[in-house]
Amino acid sequence: MSFTSFFFANENNLIALVVFAILVVFVIINRKKFSVEAKVMFIYRTHLGLKIMKRFAKYKRIVNIYSVMGVFAAFVSIALMLYLLVPYFGQMISQPASTTPQLQLLLPVSGVPGVLGVPVIYWLIALVVVIVLHEASHGIVALSKRIKLKSSGFGFFLAFLPLAFVEPDEKRFAKASRGDRLKVLAAGSFTNILLGIAFLVIYFLLSNYIIGIHAVSSSLAMNTLGVLHGSLAYNAGLKPNTTITEINGNQFFSPSEAEYYLSATSGRYINLTDSSGNVYSIKQPSSVTFLSALYIVGVIKNGPAYNAGLKPNTTITEINGNQFFSPSEAEYYLSVTPGQYVNLTDSSGNVYTIKTTYNASITTKTHSYIGIEGGFVQSVSPLGLIDDFSQTSPSQFIIQPIAPTAYPNSGFGSQILYWFDGLFLWLFIISLGVGLANFLPIFYITDGCKIVNEFIGYFTPDQKLQERITNWVIIAFSVFFILLSPLGTLLFSNL
């Protein structure tokens, strides 16, 4: 994909390009006001916020308790991440085809391997909140320990990635006790983690509120993405892309309520009313079996699926003549070597014979290129209905608010609430992610590197030995971090 086509692939990538360009131009115009450090960081020093930090630093007892909790949180976080990630790392080595990268960058672009796409406005707001409060926490604890702050300010990494900082007096910091230095170093990430938890609580409360007002103000409709060929719904005359507004004469206000009305006792009839007033009477089956279906959102032009006649918005119910009951089972049937054929049967009984090919984006030897994009697996009800409750139109971003009824309707107020719901979700993800990652001793750039160095100092007075041990710990964690990223997945899948 070319540079132009990548940024014009979707609106968010284009906005990100414009924002980054504005930041670069801002740095260039004001280059005389910035000092360049490490050749990649453009720093603008001020005294902004120092007075506010001094006010908070006066509450020494509270700040000390808080900072002690931060040090404890630092080592608990490192231990917890190792506890969670080491077993998964073993699975990546032994079963590379069935695992996915556990560490990804959070950037305002989508379509990049190893990057979790964030809406650009959410990314900018979250970054400012996370960075400013992180650095302010360092500053408040430092001032409470009588460590002078020379300056504060903001800057840019590579001229377009925002950053903020507080600059303590290095001589006073070095003369402070080891315990006080640990408290200063741990305060920033500890604040990020606490804020992440707070944002998650707000997100859940707001999501539940949105669900509540939607349940009161408007009913929900069920759109049949597909009707299984030969099923009870198919025999009753129900067609794909039919909008169901009532079940047994009842409107419904949530997916769970619709499922309740659909769960009639065996042998009874279920009456579905569509938006045109047509009624479909379907007899509930005696045995209940929940299948799955693969809904195809897009088909890549001139790809194998496109050449076989497969169209977007097609519902696949069989792969190579096999029904499937889960996403993993569907992926298993699709796992063929390049050059082999895959037969896909849609909900109307049409069969598409696709000759798979090799593509550079495929990272395992047991997978091949079909040319389908945006597919997701839906459940199939015992009636043969494939509805859109479990997922609406897929977004270019991976994580969305939990409530399926929380998507914006025509009301402006509803859209504002939904926007803030998404903001708090991303504030939680980015704040918690930054806090945890910054506690890890990786790449010589995190607070975790200095925290580990200070901790090792408790066990050896030899400065050179302390630095050597610290270096080995940082290198080990950095390699571990890389192997848990998409680079590690690519490496293990080709061994």
Q: Among the three residues 323, 351, 380, which one is the final residue of a domain in this structure?
A: 380
pLDDT value at position 71? Answer: 97
Q: Give the best-scoring range by mean pLDDT among 54-63, 342-351, 386-395, 399-408.
A: 54-63
Q: Are residues 49 and 180 in the same domain?
A: yes
Note whether residue 32 is domain-resident.
yes
Note whether residue 247 is domain-resident.
no
Residues of the domain holding 317: 291-380
Q: Are residues 358 and 460 in the same domain?
A: no
Note whether residue 9 is domain-resident.
no
Q: Give the best-scoring range by mean pLDDT among 2-16, 25-39, 163-177.
A: 163-177
Note whether residue 241 is domain-resident.
no
pLDDT tens for each residue of 57-79: 999 999 999 999 999 999 999 99
Q: Are residues 178 and 97 in the same domain?
A: yes
Q: Are residues 335 and 430 in the same domain?
A: no
pLDDT value at position 148? Answer: 95
Q: Are residues 463 and 361 in the same domain?
A: no
Q: Are residues 38 and 170 in the same domain?
A: yes
Q: Are residues 197 and 66 in the same domain?
A: yes
Place 464 in a pLDDT band, splitting at 50, 70 and 90.
very high
pLDDT tens for each residue of 117-152: 888 889 999 999 999 999 999 999 999 999 999 999
**Better pLDDT: 305 or 358:** 305
Q: Among the three residues 358, 380, 402, which one is the final residue of a domain in this structure?
A: 380
Note whether residue 84 is domain-resident.
yes
Place 338 in a pLDDT band, splitting at 50, 70 and 90.
confident
CATH code assigned at 340 = 2.30.42.10
Note whether residue 201 is domain-resident.
yes
Q: Is the pLDDT of residue 229 over 80?
A: no
What average pLDDT does the segment 107-122 reach?
Answer: 80
Q: Are residues 127 and 179 in the same domain?
A: yes
pLDDT value at position 360? Answer: 52
| Residue-averaged pLDDT of the chain | 80
Note whether residue 397 is domain-resident.
no
Q: Are residues 375 and 431 in the same domain?
A: no
Please give, one letter per residue, the 3-state secondary structure of the chain.
Answer: CCHHHHHCCCHHHHHHHHHHHHHHHHHHHCHHHCEEECCCEEEEEECCCHHHHHHHHCCHHHHHHHHHHHHHHHHHHHHHHHHHHHHHHHHHHHCHHHCCCCCCEEECCCCCCCEEECCHHHHHHHHHHHHHHHHHHHHHHHHHCCCCEEEEEEEEECCCEEEEEEEECHHHHHHCCHHHHHHHHHHHHHHHHHHHHHHHHHHHHHHHHHHHHHHHHCCECEEEEEECCCCHHHHCCCCCCCEEEEECCECECCHHHHHHHHCCCCCCEEEEEECCCCEEEEECCCCCCCEEEEEECEECCCCHHHHCCCCCCEEEEEECCECCCCHHHHHHHHCCCCCCEEEEEECCCCEEEEECECCCCCCCCCCCECCEECCEEEEECCCCEEECCCCCCCCCCCCCCCCCCCCCCCCHHHHHHHHHHHHHHHHHHHHHHHHHHHHCCCCCCCHHHHHHHHHHCCCCCCHHHHHHHHHHHHHHHHHHHHHCCHHHHHHHHCC
| Domains identified in the chain, total number | 2
Q: Among the three residues 380, 414, 442, which one is the final residue of a domain in this structure?
A: 380
200-209, 246-255, 401-410: the lowest-pLDDT one:
401-410
Q: Are residues 192 and 309 in the same domain?
A: no
Q: Is the pLDDT of residue 380 over 70?
A: no
| Full-model pTM | 0.63
Q: Are residues 87 and 35 in the same domain?
A: yes
Note whether residue 472 is domain-resident.
yes
Q: Are residues 336 and 451 in the same domain?
A: no
